[in-house]
Amino acid sequence: MNDFTLDGVDNPAVLLTRSNARSNFNITRLKKITHVGVKSIFSHGLRSMLTVLGIVIGVAAVIAMLAVSEGASFEAQQQFRELGATNILLKSVKPAEVEESTQRGFGPPQAVVYGLTQADIETIRNTIPGVSNVIASRIVKKNVWNLGLSMNTDVVGTSVDYPSSRNYNIRAGRFFSESEVRDHANVVVLSDEVAGALFPIDNPLSQSIKIDSDYYNIVGIMESEGFSNLGQNQAGSSNSAPTRIFIPFTSSKSRFGETTTRQTAGGMESETVELHEAIIQVEDQETVIEVGEIIDQILQRRHRDVDYAIEIPLALLRQAEASALRDQIVAGAIAGISLLVGGIGIMNIMLASVTERTREIGIRRALGAKKKDIIAQFLIEAVILSGVGGLIGVVLGIIIPFIISTFWGMTTIVTPIAPILAFSISAMIGVIFGIYPSMRAADMDPVEALRHE
């Protein structure tokens, strides 16, 4: 009776082997703990939902904002590519003072002379190093006829390099040639849109259209240009690319002259413009912005009024990029704050849950749960909360940009990295904000916890 040795009962060696045999059930344990966590979350459905809301909003905001700014920067880059990385665009702009004087004046209309000149172009071509080509264009608004069908278009008189300078390709036929330019030939290349409007059924190639009293042979049709309105809008011109047709520069000059007259509300308005726009191609992309500044200086010296606009797509891109970066920082900050708030919400609820379940903690401790078992239980619960919040947030974050695109026509791009990043951050928040409540739960004195009402 008094013999205290219990042979074989608690032989440490035996116990060790048994414990090794049982050390491979981590998955089962995790499953069980997760199961308990899910149960306790569901037993407070509304509370859990409200808790999760913070994370949902945070994650959805991250993804949606990234998608919008990604879309914006994609659009900017797209436009930049269309305008050309090594191009500088020059446009003639009617100076403000001149506009006023013509409107106030009485008597016969006087032609207003403004804009870029052939001499400007020659100066740029000959004096600025790094300029590889200058493509000057004249743009005249005309009614263009194919039998009974007519359309008001911009007739662009330009040189043979125009398509290549703007990454603008021929869809059918060809652009006019060097010799046709030399000969002031009556040939025309239509934009895709004009071709479609004037020749709805038959093939326009080798047919002709009438401008004023002259007939022009159609030699080619351009590809659809899409929506590259950035350049036009920025330069303040109302010309929109799709309704353009192209004739040789020389033909434009000899058929239409340099002075155009049009009917306005206040009477006749007449203006003389030698060149409407010029594309200056620069050899090296690195020097584009510099060359642009030099051109601006030269033109300032040569022009009394500011009757031209200079536009550098690369500079615009840089601006767009800078503003996209700013947007992303703001978006990131907002998203970060909402995730932080969400995390605090989770911590708050977890602390409440720990207090509420003090007795359960006591019971579990009495029945053999170690501190780390308790930590695991509450931590997993916090991670489930934030993980579910994160998942809902990801779904919303993908749907919201889709809605924005559909209803507001903005380009949005959800890159795969955004949902992954946002979800991982939300799961991490669950861990970070779950640690403190879990530790509190684990550090409770089992005796006290069991006594808790």
Partner 1 sequence: MTIIDTSSNIGAVAPPPLAAGSMVASLKDISKTYYMGALSVEVLHGVSLDFYSGDYISIMGPSGCGKSTLMNILGCLDQPTSGKYFLGSEDTSEMEDDELSTIRGARLGFIFQSYNLIQQLDVLENIEMPLFYQGYTEAESHEIAMGLAARVGLEDRVDHKPFELSGGQQQRVAIARALAVDPLIILADEPTGNLDSKSGAEILNLFDELHTQGKTLLMVTHSDELAERSKREIKLMDGRVESDE
Question: How far is 396 from 392, CA to CA, in rounded Å?
Answer: 6
Question: How far is 1 from 410, CA to CA, in rounded Å?
Answer: 88
Smallest separation (angstroms) from partner 1 to the CB of 1: 6
Instruction: Choose between 181 and 380: whose C-beta lies nearer to partner 1.
Output: 380
Instruction: Choose between 142 and 357: whose C-beta lies nearer to partner 1.
Output: 357
Smallest separation (angstroms) from partner 1 to the CB of 348: 21
Smallest separation (angstroms) from partner 1 to the CB of 441: 14
Smallest separation (angstroms) from partner 1 to the CB of 350: 15
Maximum pairwise Cα distance, the chain: 135
Smallest separation (angstroms) from partner 1 to the CB of 443: 10
Smallest separation (angstroms) from partner 1 to the CB of 355: 16
Give Cα 144 to chain centroid, integer Å. 37
Smallest separation (angstroms) from partner 1 to the CB of 361: 10
Amino acid identity, position 228: S
Q: Is 67 helix (H, G, I), strand (E, B) or coil?
A: helix
Instruction: Choose between 302 and 371: whose C-beta lies nearer to partner 1.
Output: 371
Residue 169: left (phi > 0), alpha (psi -120 to 50), or beta? beta
**Residue 346 burial (CB < 10 Å; 0-12/13-18/19+)?**
buried
**Residue 154 burial (CB < 10 Å; 0-12/13-18/19+)?**
buried
Instruction: Choose between 51 and 87: whose C-beta lies nearer to partner 1.
Output: 51
Instruction: Choose between 363 and 396: whose C-beta lies nearer to partner 1.
Output: 363
Of the CA atoms within 13 Å of residue 264, those in its CB half-sphere come to 13
Amino acid identity, position 184: H
List the one residue out of 39, 35, 31, 30 whose CA is nearest residue 353: 39
Q: Note whether 176 and 163 are within 8 A (CB).
A: no
Question: How far is 291 from 281, CA to CA, in rounded Å?
Answer: 10
List the one residue out of 232, 32, 12, 218 whose CA is nearest residue 137: 232
Instruction: Choose between 289 and 432: whose C-beta lies nearer to partner 1.
Output: 432
Smallest separation (angstroms) from partner 1 to the CB of 22: 4
Smallest separation (angstroms) from partner 1 to the CB of 50: 20
Question: How far is 424 from 62, CA to CA, in rounded Å?
Answer: 12
Smallest separation (angstroms) from partner 1 to the CB of 231: 58
Q: Is 328 helix (H, G, I), strand (E, B) or coil?
A: helix
Instruction: Choose between 15 and 96: whose C-beta lies nearer to partner 1.
Output: 15
Instruction: Choose between 320 and 361: whose C-beta lies nearer to partner 1.
Output: 361
Residue 200: left (phi > 0), alpha (psi -120 to 50), or beta? alpha
Instruction: Choose between 4 and 106: whose C-beta lies nearer to partner 1.
Output: 4
What tokens does 138 get? 């004249």
Please provide the DSSP assignment of 372-402 as one string: HHHHHHHHHHHHHHHHHHHHHHHHHHHHHHH
Smallest separation (angstroms) from partner 1 to the CB of 318: 46
Helices 288-302 and 313-356, packing angle to 10 deg: 130
Instruction: Choose between 9 and 201: whose C-beta lies nearer to partner 1.
Output: 9
Residue 206: left (phi > 0), alpha (psi -120 to 50), or beta? left
Smallest separation (angstroms) from partner 1 to the CB of 43: 6
**Which residues of this protein are in contact with partner 1, per CB under 8 A?**
1-6, 8-10, 12, 15-16, 18-19, 21-26, 28-30, 32-33, 36, 39-40, 43, 359-360, 362-373, 375-376, 379-380, 446-447, 450
Instruction: Choose between 231 and 437: whose C-beta lies nearer to partner 1.
Output: 437
Instruction: Choose between 5 and 238: whose C-beta lies nearer to partner 1.
Output: 5
Helices (H) and strands (E) in the chain, counts: 16, 13
